[in-house]
Structure 1
């Protein structure tokens, strides 16, 4: 039987971020046995005209689009929607974030806002990352067309059972616990708060106690000012023995870092946040999670169950946050099992497969 053709209009790596990783997982998956995937990479706006021509000429049965959460990107999306509507093509959108509705209702002029409401209503389906994010599209499209597909952990970055058992076996013997920040270096992602906790750890150690916690950072700097602040802070407070910056990690380096660390911190209030894959990766590798009740995060992390959940206002209380850092096997095992049950690659892909076939 001839395969159904699906055109993936999305951001592909590089750069590497949650959205591009999720799209790459889909494009390179076993679903190619059932579907013929066509790729339209919209990462670079310089290729806009070329991409429009490619979309117009596509013979795909279904168009899958990862939509933007900026006003400029939304104009691009509206043009794509118009092309597909003219050709009476089926279209499914996937929102990898949590800001779209605020963008439409609060940041747009009435003309662009009304266009969005009109277009969304006509779509064949929309995908969000968690139950609480369904509200983004409620009132814009029939609830039956709103699908929930949580993110997943790439199989490459999920430690094996034997590795996890070894991690648990040596936990009680570890003299120094490792706290991980794995995300882009954007102020609202909370990396500054983690730096301040490293400063508190040094102050405690200067009081005569041994060093108990080391802070590992990995990710990309988009602004020179962010990079300068990070390294100047380390130098100013002499945190070189308490902080390590690993750069942008992937492959084996990333796997080893996830395996080594015990506590994951993402004190985010980032406006575009959806459901951070870095949290799921850390859960799958047996870490205690320290995060905020922001965007879709409360759907995957519960205070006292997965780790520590604070409000975006409480995250400013660094002394209390630092004092609450903990690591125990029960939480780590719970996080590992939860990930294996709900957030593995095979579950993510089977959910997409089901929706593709349904539409």
Structure 2
């Protein structure tokens, strides 16, 4: 008999890792014979840094509750919940109805912020937040270092780890990538929403400093511009930096083949385990990033250079180091391809998730 799963969370939409993940989950489980239904909680195409802030625009979320009838036929309800008080509470009607109907529930957390949010709350808000999260049968985190976001609410043995993935449709064979990739000099790229907390402002300032010293790296920046973090003036000053806008499909593949050093100096408060890092590794790039959130679970000194969060000076010194030692460091870049393709596959992601859902249904 076909199992029925309901996925509640954001779907594309805006270019966010969580939306991509939900789409892959829906398609992957459908291909494996599951009857998949969805409730899309993404109601805006905008991306901004005011995550978790209340706005009347967000009241439009109320219309998603009209789809709650889909819970009645589900064997499992899989929710990629928010990570702020409002982001959790807005899912309350779905969670409560699922529990009333005795449905098995799974929470998939894509961030390292939930525990901090809980600690910041008081009184009724804190109690409600706890009650909602604790009502889930199973919790899923991206990696080991993120477990303590859920273990205050859900029993340790009911919290599972599930690494992010690189989409099958994005990948090319390693042979093709290495044939087309140029390692003769550093080709630096950034691929993420252009939030200040993702480190884009720091990176552009460092590139400007390098230019002033006569060090002109080839640089490409891709991602969604953010209304409240205008980097146009910085970009305009840098003749060696190309801004590509939002990239997908073959244009994204071309960028991943073109680049050989991926820089994401993130200190994003809602960070989990950036898919963009996995994608860059799978396309044989060296990683320059921070030891932030779940990143140390997918990167080590073996395949990455770590810089200090929020430090322009340290990022500058790490890029100077990469330039001076590029011949040696490109070996790490090449080795990243095999490492990522073996460990972070879409097939492994869906297989593991399917096992977790089936185990939850059997409980």
TM-score, normalised on structure 2? 0.89
Q: What corresponds to 1:358 in structure 2?
A: 359
Aligned partners of 2:6 and 2:39 also within 8 Å: yes
Q: Distance in 1 between matches of 2:179 and 2:119?
A: 50
State the 1:79 CA deviation: 2.7
Checking the alignment, whether the CA contact within 8 Å between 2:85 and 2:129 is kept in structure 1 is: no
Q: Per-residue CA shift, 1:65-117, capped at 9, x if unaligned?
A: 000012222211223211212222111010111101111111x2321211222
Retained in 1: the 8 A contact 2:142–2:273? yes
Aligned to 2:222: 218
Counterpart of 1:23? 22
Output the CA distance in 2 between the equivalents of 1:89 and 1:185: 39
CA change 1:222–1:356 in 2 (3 A) is same
1:53 Cα deviation from its structure 2 partner: 2.8
2:173 to 146, 154, 160: 160
Aligned equivalent of 1:98, options 103, 107, 112: 112
Which residue number corresponds to residue 133 of structure 1? 146
Q: Report the secondary structure of 1:155's partner residue.
A: coil
Residue-by-residue CA offset, 1:124-169 (whole Å, 9 max, x unaligned): 101100100001112321101101001101112223122133146x
CA–CA separation in structure 2 for the residues paired with 1:29 and 1:319: 41
Contact 1:292 1:315 in 2 (8 A): no
Identify which range, 158-167 or 257-266, moves more after superposition: 158-167
Note the C-alpha offset of 1:313. Answer: 5.0
The root-mean-square deviation of aligned C-alpha atoms, in Å, is 1.8
1:302-313 aligned at under 5 Å gives the runs: 302-303=300-301, 305-312=302-309
Change (3 A) 1:345 1:245: same
Give 1:245-324 correspondences, 5 Å limit.
245-303=243-301, 305-312=302-309, 314-324=311-321
Alignment counterpart, residue 200 of structure 1, candidates 202, 206, 209:
209
Question: Are 2:156 and 1:143 aligned?
Answer: yes
1:311, distance to aligned residue in structure 2 (A) = 2.8
Provide Cα deviations, 1:275-326, integer angstroms capped at 9, x if missing partner: 00000000000000000011000111112x1120123154543431221225
Residue 178 of structure 1 deviates from its aligned partner by: 1.3
Q: Which moved more, 1:311-320 or 1:14-23?
A: 311-320
2:306 counterpart SS class: strand
2:232, 2:79 → 1: CA distance? 38
State the 1:194 CA deviation: 1.2
For the residue of structure 2 that corresponds to 1:298, the secondary structure is helix
State how far apart, in whole Å, the 1-side matches of 2:311 and 2:129 are: 35
1:31–1:353: 8 Å Cα contact kept in structure 2?
A: no
Moved over 4 A (4+): 313-316
Gaps of 5+ in 1: none
Matched residue SS, 1:312: coil
Distance 1:325 1:196 in 2: 17
Q: Structure 2: which 5+ residue stretches go unaligned? A: 44-57
After alignment, is 95-104 or 288-297 more displaced?
95-104
Distance 1:16 1:234, change over 3 A: closer
2:76 aligned residue: 62
Q: Tell me the equivalent position of 2:50.
A: none
1:188 aligns with 2:197: yes
Maintained 8 Å contact 2:308/2:315: no
**Is residue 85 from structure 1 mapped to residue 93 from structure 2 by the alignment?**
no
SS in 2 for 1:319: helix
Q: 1: CA distance between counterparts of 2:35 and 2:131? A: 30
Three-state SS of the structure 1 residue aligned to 2:37 is strand
